[in-house]
Amino acid sequence: MARDIDALTASTLKHLRERWWDDKFTSFLRERLLPRPGNRILDVGCGVGTAEVSLGLLQLSQVRLYGVDRLVDRLRQAVADTRARNIRARFATGDACALPFKDAVFDSTFCVAVLQHIADLENAVRELARVTRSGGRVLVVEPDNAARYWFSSTETGKRAFELGGRFFTALALARGDTTDPSVGPKLPAILDRHKIEPVSVHLFPVSVAHLGAPAASAWASRREAIVASIGRAESESIKRLGADYLKLLDRYAEEAASAGSAFVEIQNTMLFATMGVRRE
């Protein structure tokens, strides 16, 4: 599963559903959730309804799809996109740590790249278990953001990766972000603590390689993302760190252009898809 990732613009995998979801992943989801006629399936952190559209297009017989997200704008788009394709799906506003549903009402529950943004992992997983019936399936797909591999053929590229990590870490700490960057491989143990029996772990490598200097538009996109992050910083020290990072990025772009076809940049991380069954 080759995907477009960029450790120079974010410390976590962003836009997983919107940019990376493909037919292969939809098939994987169907194989793990095993939808049957009459099943109710919940998508926690559904965003703009990528999963609902993808599953709905499979024309699963008499399967009822539900999505929940805390951002109303995303839900509006999800409703519009599913209706435009005549897909029957219901959506609700809610938090993953306090799902607006009764106990044991879903046959399958899943979330993709959601728990990486939640500090209270135990409570979020407890909620996944609570709304899933006994014997129902729970699928969680999360990365290990702390184990991202990076290689650049230039020394400035290596320094940019390191300084970027410091900048994004400082931003996270300033806003009180205490999420676990290594949540992916820890999921089986977390599920087990909340009456969800882990039955499988599937690994999806998420990687990209650049051979030859990236186009000017790629550097402009990187620059734009970093400028936006600096704008969100409240501390002057973090803004200065961001400014230093931006200067280093510009130098990196110049070196890449000078290297031409000899330039190499490789990034890789891993998604851990853990499937479990709700115990009684």
Q: pLDDT class for 18, splitting at 50, 70, 90?
A: low
Residue 203: pLDDT over 80: yes
The pLDDT score that the predictor gives to residue 22 is 84
The pLDDT score that the predictor gives to residue 206 is 85
Instruction: Characterize the bridge pairing of strands 89-93 and 64-69.
Output: parallel
- Distance of alpha carbon 1 from alpha carbon 131, whole angstroms: 31
Residue 252: pLDDT over 60: yes
The pLDDT score that the predictor gives to residue 164 is 95
- Distance of alpha carbon 61 from alpha carbon 97, whole angstroms: 30
- Stronger pLDDT, 206 or 159, i.e. the higher one: 159
- Distance of alpha carbon 110 from alpha carbon 18, whole angstroms: 16
The tens digit of pLDDT for each residue in 230-251 reads: 999 999 999 999 999 999 999 9
Cβ atoms of residues 51 and 43 within 8 Å: yes
The tens digit of pLDDT for each residue in 175-187 reads: 888 888 899 999 9
The pLDDT score that the predictor gives to residue 201 is 97
Q: Mind listing the domains of the chain with CATH numbers?
A: 16-143+179-203+272-278 (3.40.50.150), 147-174+209-266 (no CATH)
Residue 3: pLDDT over 60: no
Please state the rounded mean pLDDT for residues 219-235: 94
The DSSP string of 14-54 is --IIIII--HHHHHHHHHHH---TT-EEEEET-TTTHHHHH
* DSSP state, residue 232: H
| CA dist list (Å): 4 to 14, 119, 185, 228 | 10, 26, 22, 20
- Stronger pLDDT, 138 or 3, i.e. the higher one: 138
The tens digit of pLDDT for each residue in 47-96 reads: 999 999 999 999 888 999 999 999 999 999 999 999 999 999 999 999 99
Cβ atoms of residues 144 and 115 within 8 Å: no
The pLDDT score that the predictor gives to residue 1 is 40
- Distance of alpha carbon 108 from alpha carbon 277, whole angstroms: 9
Nearest of 65, 72, 61, 58 to residue 88 by alpha carbon = 65
Q: What is residue 139's three-state secondary structure?
A: strand
